[in-house]
Amino acid sequence: MANREQGSGIRDQRAVISGQWSIRPTTRVVILSEANPLRGEGGAESKDLRLLFSNGVPRPGSLWVPQVSILRPGRAWTLASRVLAAPICAALLFAAGCRQDMQDQPRMDPQRGSDFFADHRGARPQVLNTVARGQLHDDSYFFTGVVQAANGYKTELDQMPFPVTMEVLQRGQERFNVYCTPCHSRVGNGLGEIVERGFKTAGNLHDQVRLSQPISHYFYVMTHGYGAMPDYSTQLTPSDRWAVAAYIRALQLSQAATVADVPAGVEVRDLKEIASEEGLPEAYAEPWKLPATAVEAQHPVASEGTPAMAPGYPAPPQIQIPKTAAPAGPQGSK
């Protein structure tokens, strides 16, 4: 090996002498004589790179090592090293481009099969006797709107599972106006906007049938749907469904209120006077009329059928129980 003067206070580096030749990006090389190649004595000189080649082939008789750059000190690369370095660098670049990020990590897709489990189901069933977070539902009445009666049947109650405050009623009104008014209208008479577009009238929340129903019935209907009404369990949380039920009860009271229900000292004005002051027609304060576009307003055509013309509450069918003979008593009884 031979010492190199690196300059600029950098420690001398030792260049490795091999029997192979290599080309560095420099035009100055150090020629080491064969007499003493390790120390570079006797004949070690610096020549132009072009003097060391004859027709593109290194001249025999001397081992040569390129001068080591100050910026990249170390051993000189051989031709074989360069040949091997090219595919290695290409492989590293290819591997860097094919890295696996967190968003591409292996995972189980929902409702997909899997060979990892014995039943070949990727979606695993819930562990027995465990409850997921947020699904305890220990208050059955709050989440279902019914209780188990003494006779074993589910029974609706006319009570709220939590106190009703003004904030609860305001939340119920806001949700009611969003999801219920298209069918039931803002006053709950069942003449919403869908009726003007040919749909059957929705349930009137002020008729005797709805007034007699317990408040949890409204929660149950919003949870499971009823007739043509779909369920709103996805759009409304359990607390919002109870808030809407409370507002429906308040709406029923407001539409059937009397002067005696008004607290003392509160001014009572006629709705027609208010409508006149607001520049509205007098009919604005009168009972709503069934729009001419409603299904019920059209005369049924027998040849075309009568869709949605069945009464909302048909008479229950007559059930006849055939008479049977009394069962025979135990043997020996009279």
Q: Which domains does the chain have, with CATH numbers?
A: 2-93 (no CATH), 140-257 (1.10.760.10)
Confidence (pLDDT) at 44: 45
Secondary structure letter of residue 27 according to DSSP: S
**Residue 86 in 3-state DSSP?**
helix
Residue 304 binned pLDDT confidence (cut-offs 50, 70, 90): low
> pTM, whole model, 2 decimals?
0.54
Q: Determine which of 36-45, 79-88, 137-146 has the lowest per-residue pLDDT on average.
A: 36-45
The residues near 15 (Cβ < 8 Å, ≥ 6 apart) are: 1, 2, 4, 65, 68, 75, 76
The residues near 82 (Cβ < 8 Å, ≥ 6 apart) are: 22
d(C-alpha 309, C-alpha 311), whole Å: 6
What would the two tokens of residue 22 be? Answer: 């290599």
Q: Please name which of 283, 259, 261 lies closest in space to residue 272, comparing C-alpha atoms.
A: 283
**CA distance from start to end of the chain:** 130
d(C-alpha 43, C-alpha 71), whole Å: 27
Q: Determine which of 87-96, 210-219, 264-273 has the lowest per-residue pLDDT on average.
A: 87-96
Residue 106 binned pLDDT confidence (cut-offs 50, 70, 90): confident
Please tell me the number of Cα atoms within 13 Å of 252 on its side-chain side. 19
Residue 216 contacts residue 156 (beta carbons within 8 Å) = yes
Confidence (pLDDT) at 282: 76
Question: For residue 37, what are the CA distances in angstroms to 26, 79, 80, 107, 329?
Answer: 21, 20, 22, 62, 128
Please write the tens of the pLDDT for every residue from 163-181. 999 999 999 999 999 999 9
d(C-alpha 6, C-alpha 14), whole Å: 10
The residues near 85 (Cβ < 8 Å, ≥ 6 apart) are: 77
d(C-alpha 305, C-alpha 258), whole Å: 44
Triad 42, 47, 52: Cα angle to 5°: 100
Please write the tens of the pLDDT for every residue from 201-247. 889 999 899 999 999 999 999 999 998 899 999 999 999 999 999 99
pLDDT > 70? residue 194: yes
